[in-house]
């Protein structure tokens, strides 16, 4: 058979290295540790990148998929370091990146009726391998926030909104997604639920009214809780309130700890 030329491996004269090159938005099954049921199977959107030296024209995109397929049904947190090492080896790279975004479901009970339902949280595993292994866990937690200013100014009622609290952490010992979600959720005016009966609606409405929060209050309270947890070495917290009476969203963020170059 005639040998097929390897164009990607051919030279490039522009002398420009590339920081990240690879494949993005691959839909793939993964396994996540579940505090109640040991394991949870879900579908992640996966990005895989490596660095590319200046003297190569391109990378071999098919090899990223081959690596994923070689760990079929075994893609989990404890395999990330191994996968990254294989990416570096097979693609001749000095740095490898792997990011997974996936829905994670936690069973929640309504506050009064105790009706059970599944609540979805968007989570991320973001891993990098250069000289050593670096990993961050991310989660987006929906809450209700009630405006303190509106409550103070109005003769009756106060406007509230859905808010999303986005947190990324580095940790020294294992933290359950369920732990992190509960910690963050407690910082809103009220949690959000998938299923509420009338008695629950009354409860959460009144709870939010008695617990007004600006977006600034939310990020400060999350910061206090994350700082108190000795397992967490670095974090970034962002809160966005999707305002119900304004066209814009309200936003705040705080980052603490020793950030690493990514």
262 part of a folded domain: no
3 part of a folded domain: no
83 part of a folded domain: yes
Tell me the residue range of the domain where 86 lies.
18-257
Residue 72: which pLDDT band, with cuts at 50, 70 and 90?
Answer: confident
64 part of a folded domain: yes
Distance CA 141, CA 121 (A): 6
Cα 261 from chain centroid?
18
- What does the pLDDT look like over 228-241, one tens digit per residue? 999 999 999 999 99
214 within 8 A of 221, measured Cβ to Cβ? no
Q: Compute the C-alpha angle 156/157/162, nearest 5°.
A: 170
Task: Name the domain count of the chain.
Answer: 1
Residue 8: which pLDDT band, with cuts at 50, 70 and 90?
Answer: low
Size of the chain, expressed as the number of residues it contains = 262
Backbone angles phi, psi at 131, to 5 degrees: -75, -25
* CA-based nearest residue to 63, from 8, 126, 5: 8
2 part of a folded domain: no
CATH of the domain at 95: 3.10.270.10
87 part of a folded domain: yes
11 part of a folded domain: no
Distance CA 160, CA 167 (A): 22
Whether 173 shows a pLDDT value over 60: the answer reads: yes
7 part of a folded domain: no
- List of residues 6+ apart from 12 with CB closer than 8 A: 54, 55, 56, 57
- What does the pLDDT look like over 78-135, one tens digit per residue? 899 999 999 999 998 999 999 999 999 999 999 999 999 999 999 999 999 999 999 9
Per-residue confidence (pLDDT) for residue 129, from 0 to 100: 96
pTM, full prediction: 0.90
Per-residue confidence (pLDDT) for residue 69, from 0 to 100: 92
């Amino acid at each position: 058979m005639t040998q097929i030329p390897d164009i990607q491996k051919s030279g490039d004269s522009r002398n420009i290295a590339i920081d990240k090159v690879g494949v993005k938005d691959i839909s793939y099954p993964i396994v996540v540790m579940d505090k109640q049921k040991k394991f949870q199977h879900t579908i992640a959107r996966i990005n895989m990148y490596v660095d590319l030296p200046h003297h190569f024209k391109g990378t071999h995109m098919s090899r990223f998929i081959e690596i994923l397929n070689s760990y079929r049904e075994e893609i989990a947190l404890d395999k990330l370091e191994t996968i990254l090492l294989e990416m570096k080896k097979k693609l001749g790279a000095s740095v490898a990146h792997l990011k997974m975004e996936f829905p994670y479901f936690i069973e929640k009970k309504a506050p009064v009726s105790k009706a059970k339902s599944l609540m979805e949280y968007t989570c991320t595993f973001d891993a990098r391998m250069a000289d050593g292994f670096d990993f961050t866990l991310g989660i987006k937690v929906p809450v209700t926030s009630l405006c303190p200013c509106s409550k103070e100014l109005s003769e009756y009622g106060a406007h509230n909104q859905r808010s999303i609290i986005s947190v990324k952490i580095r940790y020294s010992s294992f933290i359950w997604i369920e732990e992190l979600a509960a910690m963050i959720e407690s910082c809103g005016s009220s949690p959000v639920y998938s299923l509420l009966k009338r008695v629950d609606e009354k409860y959460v409405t009144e709870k939010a009214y008695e617990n007004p929060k600006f977006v600034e209050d939310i990020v400060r309270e999350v910061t206090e809780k994350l700082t108190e947890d000795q397992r967490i070495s670095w974090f970034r917290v962002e809160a966005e309130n999707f305002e119900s009476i304004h066209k814009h969203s309200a936003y705040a963020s705080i980052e603490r700890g020793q950030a690493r170059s990514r």
